[in-house]
Amino acid sequence: MVTGLQLALAAGALIGLAAALLVWRLAPVDPDLADALERLSPQHTRRRTADTARAGVGGSDVRDQLGRWGMTTLPAGAWGVTPTRELAILRIPLSRYYGEKLLFALLGLVIPPLLTTFFALIGAHLPLYVPVGATVVLAAVMFFLPDYNVRDDAKRARAEFGRALGAYIDFVALERNSGAGPRQAMEVAAAVGDSWVFRRLGEQLARTRWSGLTPWDALHALADELGLPELDDLADIMRLSGEEGAQIYRTLRARSASMRAAMLTAEKARANEIGEKMSIPMSLLGVIFLAILVAPALLRVIGGAT
């Protein structure tokens, strides 16, 4: 049962936490210079415009609303390290990402009290520090769970981007070999496929017609935004063709071949790793089978000795 001392300690802890949060909210803080400069950059403005357009098309859910509230209320340092490149390749708005973090944290705050109430109803009374500690730990863990989800999804998206980029490089090489110019070759190759990778490249190249950037500079910017070194290499090759008139057909085909070889090596390594993991239960099953065969004879020997 909860004693008066435990209730007094809990009330004092809550009052102290409320006072600390109030002081933390009202205390002046120095703005993060990198975050402030990033918000003022043209790339951030274009991303916010694109995110707003997607939110207007797809509607605004609870995560977006909660995230916008958190962005205007909580300090920038409360979110930890934001996976900007992962969000960019997944095209997840920053408000939705922050809202998901807050929603997961709220679930972490609610689950332990509900379980404590359930245990109390069936007669299992827990000490007060158990649900309090579980609430704090679970809320902290679930607050950072979207970070893991975003990084895992972005890893798969980068692998898919790399596979599609190899095909895109082959298309660009064929267009250049047929006499098309660098811009035309890149735009026609992007229009061939219908996957999200080809659409993303096509959108980036289409912006260069009115933004003043060259196509290879646009690919450089996209590679830096998404963290794709393979796309950066393609931009360098196309720069040589566009600015110096170099013949790049063989270079492009060699680059796509090396990318496919690297992906094949990675797939083989992953398959070997999965095969090694599968051998463990098979070995354990063999040991159990041998134990079943040996056990009767071993029991007879032990029984005869006694």
Provide the pLDDT for residue 150. Answer: 92
Question: What is the C-alpha to C-alpha distance for residues 163 and 71, in angstroms, rounded to an integer?
Answer: 36
Domain match, 131 and 42 both:
yes
Provide the pLDDT for residue 244. Answer: 66
Domain match, 45 and 65 both:
yes
Domain match, 136 and 171 both:
no
Q: Does the structure show a pLDDT above 60 at 2?
A: no
Provide the pLDDT for residue 9. Answer: 62
Residue ending a domain, choose from 103, 120, 143: 143
pTM above 0.85, yes or no: no
The full DSSP string for 95-137 is: HHHHHHHHHHHHHHHHHHHHHHHHHHHTT-PPPTHHHHHHHHH
Domain match, 54 and 75 both:
yes
Q: Look at residue 2 and tell me if it is in a domain.
A: no
Q: Does the structure show a pLDDT above 80 at 194?
A: yes
Domain match, 139 and 167 both:
no
Residues in the chain: 306
Provide the pLDDT for residue 109. Answer: 86
Residue ending a domain, choose from 119, 143, 167: 143
Range of the domain at 216: 155-260
Question: What is the C-alpha to C-alpha distance for residues 175 and 183, in angstroms, rounded to an integer?
Answer: 10
More confident residue, 4 or 164: 164
The model's pLDDT over 98-148, given as tens digits with 9 standing for 90+, comes to 999 999 988 888 888 888 888 788 877 777 777 788 888 888 888 889 999
Question: What is the C-alpha to C-alpha distance for residues 170 and 189, in angstroms, rounded to an integer?
Answer: 9
Provide the pLDDT for residue 53. Answer: 45
CB atoms inside a 10 Å sphere around CB 285: 10
DSSP3 helix / strand / coil % (the chain, rounded to 5): 85, 0, 15
More confident residue, 47 or 228: 228
Provide the pLDDT for residue 56. Answer: 43
Q: Does the structure show a pLDDT above 80 at 82?
A: yes
Q: Look at residue 161 and tell me if it is in a domain.
A: yes
The model's pLDDT over 205-232, given as tens digits with 9 standing for 90+, comes to 888 888 778 888 888 888 888 888 888 8
Domain match, 97 and 163 both:
no
- CA-based nearest residue to 191, from 180, 182, 181, 203: 203
Q: Does the structure show a pLDDT above 60 at 1?
A: no
The model's pLDDT over 269-301, given as tens digits with 9 standing for 90+, comes to 888 888 777 777 777 888 888 888 877 777 777
Domain match, 93 and 166 both:
no
Q: Look at residue 52 and tell me if it is in a domain.
A: yes
Residue ending a domain, choose from 143, 167, 186: 143
Domain match, 128 and 165 both:
no
Q: Is 156 exposed, middle or buried (0-12, 13-18, 19+ CB in 10 A)?
A: exposed
Q: Is 128 exposed, middle or buried (0-12, 13-18, 19+ CB in 10 A)?
A: middle
Number of domains in the chain: 2
Asked if 169 contacts 255 with a C-beta cutoff of 8 angstroms, the reply is yes
Question: What rounded mean pLDDT belongs to the chain?
Answer: 79
Q: What is the mean pLDDT of residues 5-28?
A: 65
More confident residue, 54 or 166: 166
Least confident of 138-142, 160-164, 302-306: 302-306
Q: Look at residue 207 and tell me if it is in a domain.
A: yes
Question: What is the C-alpha to C-alpha distance for residues 216 and 181, in angstroms, rounded to an integer?
Answer: 13
Domain match, 61 and 93 both:
yes
Domain match, 116 and 174 both:
no
Q: Look at residue 294 and tell me if it is in a domain.
A: no
Question: What is the C-alpha to C-alpha distance for residues 238 and 185, in angstroms, rounded to an integer?
Answer: 10
- CA-based nearest residue to 138, from 104, 108, 106: 108
Q: Does the structure show a pLDDT above 50 at 26?
A: yes
Q: Look at residue 150 and tell me if it is in a domain.
A: no
Domain match, 177 and 201 both:
yes
Q: Look at residue 292 and tell me if it is in a domain.
A: no
Q: Look at residue 172 and tell me if it is in a domain.
A: yes
Domain match, 106 and 177 both:
no
